[in-house]
Amino acid sequence: MGDTSDISCLIREYIDCPDWELLTHSFEDRWHLVPILIACDKRIGKRRLTLLLKQDNFAQVHWIIRKRLGTSLLIL
């Protein structure tokens, strides 16, 4: 399959994943899209988003998470 088909399959797998499994499910994500999807996903509440700010694997999406939380906090 081409990259486009693989990305489509990844997005479909993500959408079909129950919200309680989103943070623990092992997605085959060689494009590193899942952190972006999680940061934008309304199924992820503010409490869990706050916890994600402390994880290194979500560092590239801190801006999105902070915007969703309505804060400009700098998390180091």
**37 or 57, higher pLDDT:** 37
pLDDT of residue 74: 53
Residue % of the chain over a pLDDT of 90: 75
* Domain spans, the chain: 3-69
Q: Are 72 and 66 in contact (CB under 8 A)?
A: yes
Q: Strand, coil or helix: what is 36?
A: helix
Dihedral in degrees, nearest 10, Cα atoms 45, 51, 56, 62: 50
pLDDT in tens, 4-40: 999 999 999 999 999 999 999 999 999 999 999 999 9
pLDDT of residue 73: 55
The CA distance from 34 to 20, in Å, is 15
Residues 6+ apart with CB under 8 A from 22: 14, 38, 41, 43, 44
